Structure 1
Amino acid sequence: MIVDEDEKNEEKNEKLLADLCECCLLLREGKFSELLSICVCCLLKVALNKEENEEAQKEREMALLALNNTGLIKIKKEIFLNEIKEIIEYRQSHLNLSRLAYQSAWQFLIFRFYNDISLEGVIVNELHFVGEATRELEELTRILYWKKKKGELRDKETIEEKIIKRWIQTLDYYFNKSKLQNEELTGLISSIVKVLRASRIINRIFCVWSISLLKGAAETEAVKINYLLKGGAVDAILEEIQQYTLEDYRMLYHLQFLRRILTILNKKKKNEMEEEERKATKIMIIKRMEEEGYADIIPSFHEIFVIIYYYYYGDISLDISDYFLFV
């Protein structure tokens, strides 16, 4: 039906075609064929509609949610790039999309970036992804705090929680491929830390996801260690780890994060400026860890490290020296 409707020269039913394309993308669960290019082009056209009425709004939202269901499937950038840029830029100026639809537009683009690193310049420099993700996460976290204060949070997951989860997933893919570094990342790390701290009140699973996200950013070196430090990631980990016992599996993620940070900082750099920066960052972290009682925290787990390792089957070093810094 999609092919038949798309090939019509006259009297093409655009509404029917869009509905069929939405059904195709939403129901096929990532298993697509030659219909993909037709569906993407059709739904981007719908999402580009700038009419200001309830029907057009609903159609834009549904089109972007359906497009997001393409996952990591490769799509030629000639098919989508100009259109998705226009959709994102127009929303930044006119606020014509809900937070969920806006996040869907970004996720569609970041999924494309995962397979095509040439998109990074557009994503970072033209569309300002880091700043937008920072702002969205901070606003969503504030809304959830306000709802909690007003007693509006229930056992059922809120729309804001769903969107935060999707942003965390999007950022995970972004950090996996990103190479561009700038001070703006400090703000993004700070916003992730706010989600981490808010997890005590809002949703405990956010804690694990946030730590995994920060650990991934460190592992791929998408974020410099000094940005992690300035953004409060190290402080948050040291603060959180003191709350846990052997039974709390989240402790494992925190220890893995610390070990990864220390491993990176113990690798000497060939570039003289980078080596000086590495040493300075190590000194700052040593000072911070001494202030937070780090020397007491990690040894306190020493006797139970073997139990932790086998209990959670985690990638955690049994050598206590792996958790200390040497300048």
Structure 2
Amino acid sequence: MVLLALGNAGYQKVPKELYLNEIKEIIKYHQEHRNLTSPAYQSAWKFLMYRVIYDNALERIIVNELHFAREAARELEVLRECVDWKRKEEEIEEEERKDIMMIERWLDDIFCFLLCYKSHDEEFVGLFGCIIRICREARDAHKEIVLRCCIYFEGLVNDQSIFTVVYDLLKGGAVDFFLEEIKNSSFKNYMAYHFLNFFSKLRKILGKNGMEGNDCEEWMKLKRMMFDKMEEEGYEDIAASFYKRLSDLDDEFGYDLSLNISDYFVNV
């Protein structure tokens, strides 16, 4: 109950000496003994992440010492296996509904961390892979979860994206999922906007001549991997079919999409 209360404490400043050692000990103990409920464990992480705004060093502790990505993936996998993803909304049992709510809470906190902070390691590939598995299972009866993830992934691809985030999105299966979804998306589906915007942002990032601190050869390798993947899935034909009606999409949903067709393609 204390952890649940702390998880709702928001961004109030708390002296580090009053919480850090104890929160770290609680998290590490749970990692070994699994003694907390999922809501309590998630709340401990949430409290710690909210404190990063006052102490950047906590980012490295969260990622490198406490292995946030690995732990979040483990929690999501357990919850994913507890849900019958084929049940329609009116058929969901109470316990399953709680599990779905916990999945949504974890997703919100995972992407909040990724969108706000820069610390990142290879364990995020596994986390992205786990999120994509949830999206694939939720795509029929729980489209709101898929939309939530698509918007978050779209937000990760921006002008400040670091090399490893873009690479891990590809390696973790996010790009494959977006390509699958845009292939099956009708023009009337407003999620088409998010798919197109994702690839537009991706093209903008990969169109740069490398990024500061990145090896040029690795950057070109990533561009080639992305290009080959999109070509293999016939992405250009799909994007072109949407492009013919982008102005209609803008009018219908009030979105601001580029009317330059080249903005949606990754070139090498």
TM-score (norm 2): 0.90
Question: Alpha-carbon deviation of 1:91?
Answer: 1.1
Q: Which of 185, 198, 201 matches 2:137?
A: 198
Q: Which of 111-120 and 126-135 deviates more?
A: 111-120
Distance 2:208 2:91 in 1: 48
- Partner residue of 2:202? 261
Structure 2 unaligned runs (5+)?
none
Structure 1 residues 201 and 268: alpha-carbon distance in aligned structure 2, compared to 1, 3 A threshold: same
Call closer, same or farther: CA 1:164–1:115 in 2, change over 3 Å.
farther
RMSD: 2.4
Q: How far apart, CA to CA, are the structure 1 residues paired with 2:253 and 2:93?
A: 30
Aligned counterparts of 1:201 and 1:270: Cα–Cα separation in 2: 38
Give the drift of 1:231. Answer: 0.6
Q: What is aligned with 1:100?
A: 39
1:251 to 173, 179, 192: 192
Q: Which residue of the partner structure matches residue 19 of structure 2?
A: 80
**1:168 & 1:313 partners in 2: Cα distance?**
26
Once the two structures are TM-superposed, the CA of residue 246 in structure 1 deviates from its matched residue by 2.6
- The CA distance in 2 between the partners of 1:312 and 1:218, in whole Å, is 22
Alignment match of 2:254 (pick from 305, 310, 313): 313
- Aligned partner of 2:56 in structure 1 is 117
Aligned to 2:125: 186
Q: TM-score, normalised by structure 1?
A: 0.75
Higher RCO, Cα 8 Å, sep 6+: 2
Displacement of 1:105 in angstroms is: 0.9
Q: Deviations over 1:255-313 (max 9, x none)?
A: 11111111111111265852211211111111111111112100011121001122222
Q: Deviations over 1:21-40 (max 9, x none)?
A: xxxxxxxxxxxxxxxxxxxx
* 1:164 matches 2:103: yes
Larger radius of gyration: 1
- 1:290-301 aligned at under 5 Å gives the runs 290-301=231-242
Residue 210 of structure 1 is matched in structure 2 by 149
Matched AA of 2:262: S
SS where residue 96 of structure 1 aligns? coil
Give how far 1:218 is off: 2.5
Q: How far does residue 81 in structure 1 lie from its aligned partner after superposition?
A: 1.0
Contact kept in structure 2, 1:244 and 1:251, CA below 8 Å: yes
For residues 107-154 of structure 1, what are the alpha-carbon distances to aligned partners after superposition, in whole Å with 9 as ceiling and x for unaligned?
Answer: 1111222443220121111111111011111221222147859x9735
Q: Distance in 1 between matches of 2:196 and 2:51?
A: 32
